[in-house]
Amino acid sequence: MFVLQEISPNVRNIKQLQYAVLLRRASQIKEKLRRKEKYKLLTCLLSRFQHFCFKFTCSQKVRKPNKGLIDVCWGDPHRAGVKPLTFVRQVLAACLYPQLVDSDKLPVDVRQRAQMLLKGCAGGSVGSYTATAGISEIVHRISAFITRRDGGAPSHPENIYISPGSQWALTNILNVLVDSEASPKTGVLTPLPCYSISSMSIVGLGAVAVPYGLCEERGWELQVEELHRALESAKGVCKPVALYVINPGNPTGQVQSRKSMQEVIRFVSEKRLFLLADEVYQDCVYGDKSEFVSYKRVLAEMDPPLSDTVELASFHSASKGLMGECGLRGGYVELVNLDPSIMKYIYTLFSADSCAPVLGQFALDLLTNPPQPGDPSYPLYREETQHIRSTLVHNVKRVFEVLNSLPGFSCQPVEGGAFAFPRMHLPPKAIQKAKEMGMQPDVYYCVRLLEEAGVFVKPGCEYGVKEGTHHIRFCIMVQEDIMEELLRRLTSFHTQFMKDFS
């Protein structure tokens, strides 16, 4: 059963408290382990940490982690141990310290790229403001990238806005679509499970998140029949104006087929809905039969009037994928088939915050225009990106193999994205214990996993799941040895957990 999310701010805050428990626990464990490295007093620290733990029954034996914390709850590759790409960091270093441009300490193509990027800045400095939509030359190069990516389907620079991350751009586009004073309220169809920040943004703007369930048994497939059901469920509650899709999925890791995307486009055309396509993980696709195709391309290759009338906003980011530069805050949105008067309003809306960070804009330029064969930096760039891809492929296979071998776990194949989202079939006694502790069952599981095994993952309830199901989400963009240690700890903990509550 899926429930419309029309939630007051106070209630939303209360729902977030359970996850805040995990954040607090993780911070405490990190601090304890940091002190362990400094003072070598692990026994004393773990004893003191016990005072912060939940009050389990006196008869329950609480096991404590005796090794470093494995933090895989974020979609932050560098936080998880993935090394920054050398070419990217060298170019950014030269842009921040232009004296490097004139030295021989960096490859010639790095110095040339830095010089080119700085020429697009007022005063030749990264410290200058830029145009609202972003540095013009970078916007044009992003447009050329989109055209190449989409098999020649034209992309127009005037329809592209660089933003401080894709989520910021999504919220601004939602601002255009949502009328907070409308009656009935504005509705946005959102996937369940769904990236929690996106659904919170929808509700926070005064709209109603109308959930459509992804079919877990079919690899988290988006089924158009479910879209019709969701739209019907909104009658009398809100007026849906948009459909939000995440491809590749977050947290679910599915990759949509071209046929599925065509069905979605026909659906939004028939129902007169705006299409919001979150495609930030487009570089991370590793299913044997999976291929990323953008909604922009699928729409462009469909016959008129669909290709000329369906309104689309497509989002991408330098934070996700192989680059993983989350802290630089660089994303973009491309708008398709919007009325010119609406485009003027969007320009005004984006202008309210001056411009995106310049280093984030540079990161987007490097993302969309990486080194090419023949460039001095290409061999190392290719080696580093292939290593990340091969690591992801290894991790995906290992997660699928190990989790599906454990009693009480089932994990759908991860075709793309940065996360695994396995389902847990928890024993009734564990569910009852969680209730007694005032927690959702998956939150209780995550707290125990954190405190006893030192593994920090997120509970599935944060993303919205089908009633009666329980999941965890963790990042797979980590080094192979970290993934193996994670799976070893998870296997040991889960085996004991299921035994304790059998």
The Cα–Cα gap between 34 and 12 comes to 33
CA distance 201 to 245: 15
Q: Which residue bears the tokens 């005064």?
A: 206
pTM over 0.75: yes
Give dist(CA 422, CA 412) in Å, integer. Answer: 7
Q: Provide DSSP, 127-193.
A: TS---TT--HHHHHHHHHHHHHHTTT----GGGEEEESSHHHHHHHHHHHH--TT-SSEEEEEEEES
Report pLDDT for 3.
Answer: 46
Tell me how far apart the alpha carbons of residues 45 and 482 are, in angstroms, rounded to a whole number: 24
Q: Which domains does the chain have, with CATH numbers?
A: 9-82+389-500 (3.90.1150.10), 86-119 (1.10.287)
Label residue 344 exposed, middle or buried (CB < 10 Å: 0-12, 13-18, 19+). Answer: exposed
Distance, in Å, from the CA atom of 409 to the CA atom of 445, rounded to the nearest integer, reads 13
What are the b/e assignments for 131-149, b being 16+ CB within 10 Å?
ebbbbebbbebbbebbeeb
CB 426 within 8 A of CB 433: no
| Tens digit of each residue's pLDDT, the chain (502 residues) | 444 544 334 334 434 555 566 666 667 666 665 665 544 433 433 343 343 343 333 334 445 555 689 999 988 999 888 999 999 999 999 999 999 999 899 999 999 999 999 999 999 999 999 999 999 999 999 999 999 999 999 999 999 999 999 999 999 999 999 998 899 999 999 999 999 889 899 999 999 999 999 999 999 999 999 999 999 999 999 999 999 999 999 999 999 999 999 999 999 999 999 999 999 999 999 878 889 999 999 999 999 999 999 999 999 999 988 999 999 999 999 999 999 999 988 888 888 777 999 999 999 999 999 999 999 999 999 999 999 999 999 999 999 999 999 999 999 999 999 999 999 999 999 999 999 999 999 999 999 999 999 999 999 999 999 999 999 999 999 999 999 999 999 999 999 999 999 9
Task: Give me the torsion for CA of 330, 103, 109, 81, rounded to 10°.
Answer: -50
pLDDT of residue 86: 98
Residue labelled with tokens 């009037």: 305
User: How high is the pLDDT of residue 302?
Assistant: 97
**CA–CA gap between residue 448 and residue 64 (Å, rounded):** 9
Q: What is the identity of the amino acid at 264? A: V
Q: Are 421 and 478 in contact (CB under 8 A)?
A: no
Kindly provide the b/e burial profile for residues 467-501, where b requires at least 16 CB atoms within 10 angstroms of the residue's own CB. Answer: eebbbbbbbbbbbeebbebbbebbbebbeebbeee
Q: Using CA of residue 31, residue 34, residue 40, residue 43, what is the dihedral sign?
A: positive
Q: Residue 447: its pLDDT value, please?
A: 96
Residue 353: the pLDDT is 73
State the virtual CA torsion across 162, 168, 171, 172 in degrees, nearest 10: -40
**pLDDT (0 to 100) of residue 461:** 94
Q: Which pLDDT belongs to residue 4? A: 54
- Rounded to whole angstroms, how far apart are CA atoms 134 and 330? 10
